[in-house]
Amino acid sequence: MRKQKVHIKSFGCQMNKLDTEMVTAAFARAGFELIDSYEDSDIVLINTCSVREHAETKVFSHLGRLKHLKKSNPELVVGVIGCMAQRLGSELLNHDVVDIVCGPAQIPQIVDMVREAIGTKQKKIRVKEKIREKNSDAETQALENFESVYDKGDKRIPGQAFVRAMRGCNNFCTYCIVPYVRGPEISRPHQAIIDQIKRLADEGTKLVTLLGQTVNSYEYKAGDKTYCLADLLEMASEVDGIEWVRFVTSYPTQKYFEQIMNTMADIENVCNYLHMPAQSGSDRILKAMNRHYTSGEYLGLIDKARTIVPDISIAGDFIVGFPSETEEDFQQSVELVKKAQYRNAFVFKYSPRPGTTSEKRLADDIDAETKKRRNVELLAVQEKISEKLSEEFLNKKVKILVEGLSKKPHLNKADHQGNPQLIGRTAEDYIVVFNGPTELAGNFTTVKITKTSPLTLFGEMI
């Protein structure tokens, strides 16, 4: 029998990409063929994100494109999985082209759902009805089993893999949809995580990134001991073959902070990289966001991180145009960016998400123009800082993990030996572009930096 062809597209965060990898692994094991283009596929799956309206709009336009495909191939099965599936449920199922809707908690059932849909033309939906209710033991076990089918490393980036440390979130920042689509926070058993990392290392993984919405609050009780992220980092770094360990994202809090920073300082394999969103520099706005810190406390953590790990590279997230944000509030975000000296900052325009506290209680009163201006201004302030920090790398030798061919043409496309342009990353998450043999993908190499830009370093292999 001809193998059914599946195409999976991911529209979301790292957590979402990890789910895509797991789903890919599950389909491959079930005998399906995974393909890169949706035009020739029998099954198209879209893994979706609800964090901002824009993320959802992109999915709807993709579904629109699939209409034509479905006309020419009426047998095509289209499935929507991930956070939008959980948020919109039957609304999505009613869309012309959609056959399957499957939420993040039901993901272990996706292969069966697709099998049932093939040839039957019946629409199928599985989402969690009460998403804030704790999963049953059986559901948790199904998710754990599904998690463990994934052990081949991230296929798109050789040598690297994401590993989930925690599911869900309990923080309820007022703007955020994640707790409503990913459910309550739960830490995975430390042993399951370490076993998974061992299998990944056996398959050639050298860098693991531990994932959690607030990964620094990881806590797992086993016997008399409570394992925290620092313990996980230490155990992961000891796995044979694992050379770098990273973690994202950290919530600004004192708890475990010093311990985690000390682990970073003491263990060479733990990358000197911290992604810790601030969201705003205004204490009034932080309070309205239900973030449990002031800008002063946030900066205190940044100072502590730099005292313990002097060459740490820090990234942050900001939201501009949160309801009632005045020019003065915004300038406090500008000040915070200047003081924090991030390597990189991600800036988002506030997008009201249906059902969240800020959407229900606060008017989206900052006009699009102002949001855009603040976004551009904050990014410009950050760009100057990134530029200055990048320049410090000039003429230095850096160790990088090579990812593969560079998608964007940068300097010279090929050097005199005909080597193409490759891209890799430093432990601090700097992108490095250089010419080298493609076989280097998935391996470490050393590059001398010859040119810098705010977010990218350019260099030559040594």
**Binding stretches for ligand SAH (CB under 6 A):** 51-52, 175-176, 178, 213-214, 249, 251, 277, 279, 317, 319, 348, 350-351, 353
| E-only strand ranges, 62-198 | 77-82, 100-102, 124-126, 160-164, 166-167, 186-187
Residue 48 beta carbon to ligand F3S: minimum distance, rounded to whole angstroms: 7
Query: Could you give the CA distance from residue 44 to residue 38 in angstroms, rounded to a whole number?
Result: 6
Q: Where are the beta strands (DSSP E) in 223-332?
A: 225-228, 244-248, 273-275, 313-320
Q: Which does 314 bind (CB under 5 to 8 A by kind): ligand F3S, ligand SF4, ligand SAH, none?
A: none
Q: Choose between 173 and 337: whose C-beta lies nearer to ligand SF4.
A: 173
Least distance to ligand SF4 from the beta carbon of 173, Å? 3
Residue 444 site contact among ligand SAH, ligand F3S, ligand SF4, none (CB < 5 to 8 Å, cut-off depends on kind): none
Residue 348 interface partner, choices ligand SAH, ligand F3S, ligand SF4, none, CB cut-off 5-8 Å depending on type: ligand SAH
Q: Which does 353 bind (CB under 5 to 8 A by kind): ligand SF4, ligand SAH, ligand F3S, none?
A: ligand SAH
Does position 176 bind ligand F3S by CB under 6 A? no
The one of ligand SAH, ligand F3S, ligand SF4, none whose footprint includes residue 313, by CB under 5 to 8 A per kind, is none
**Smallest separation, CB 36 to ligand F3S (Å):** 21
Q: What is the 3-state secondary structure (H, E, C) of 302-351?
A: HHHHHHHCCCCEEEEEEEECCCCCCHHHHHHHHHHHHHHCCCEEEEEECC
Using CB under 6 A, which of 6, 8, 13, 18 touches ligand F3S? 13
Environment class of residue 396 by beta-carbon count within 10 Å: exposed (0-12), middle (13-18) or buried (19+)?
exposed
Nearer to ligand SF4, 176 or 208 (CB): 176
| Beta-sheet strands, E only, within 119-188 | 124-126, 160-164, 166-167, 186-187
Q: In what order do the strands lie in the sheet with 313-320?
A: 273-275, 313-320, 344-349
Separation of alpha carbons 309 and 314, rounded Å: 11
Toward ligand SF4, which CB reaches closer, 89 or 179? 179
Does position 178 interact with ligand F3S (CB under 6 A)? The reply is yes
Residue whose C-beta lies closest to ligand F3S:
12
CA–CA gap between residue 321 and residue 363 (Å, rounded): 11
Beta carbon nearer to ligand SAH, 32 or 256:
256
15 binds, among ligand SAH, ligand F3S, ligand SF4, none (CB under 5 to 8 A by kind): ligand F3S
CB-nearer residue toward ligand F3S: 213 or 435: 213
Query: For binding to ligand SF4 (CB under 6 A), which residues are involved?
Result: 169, 171-173, 176, 178-179, 213-214, 251
Q: Of residues 47-66, which lie at the interface with ligand F3S (CB under 6 A)?
A: 49-51
109 and 100 Cβ atoms separated by less than 8 Å: no
Residue 117 Cβ, how far from ligand SF4 at the closest point, in Å? 31
Token readout for 273 is: 């990289």
- In one letter, which amino acid is 418? G
Tell me the C-alpha to C-alpha distance, in Å, between residue 241 and each of 163, 190, 199, 399, 402. 15, 19, 10, 16, 16
Q: Which residue has the tokens 């855009």?
A: 372
Give the residue with the Cβ less far from ligand SF4, 179 or 281. Answer: 179
Applying CB under 6 A, the span of 157-165, 177-185, 427-435, 445-453 interacting with ligand F3S comes to 177-185
CA–CA separation, 82 vs 87, rounded Å? 9
Q: CA 376, CA 426: separation in Å to the nearest integer?
A: 27
Among 59, 63, 83, 301, which residue sits at the site for ligand F3S (rule: CB under 6 A)?
A: 83
Smallest separation (angstroms) from ligand SAH to the CB of 16: 11
Q: What is the dihedral of CA 433, 439, 441, 444, to 10 degrees?
A: -80
Q: Is 166 in the site for ligand F3S (CB under 6 A)?
A: no
Q: Which residue from 235, 234, 246, 252 is spatially nearest to 304, judged by alpha carbons?
A: 252
User: Residue 411 phi/psi, 5° resolution?
Assistant: -70, -115
Q: Which one of ligand SAH, ligand SF4, ligand F3S, none is in contact with 16 (Cβ closer than 5 to 8 A by kind)?
A: ligand F3S
Pick 32 or 348: Cβ nearer ligand SF4: 348
Beta-bridge partner residues of 451: 458
Residues of this chain that interact with ligand F3S (CB under 6 A) are 12-13, 15-16, 49-51, 82-83, 177-178, 181-182
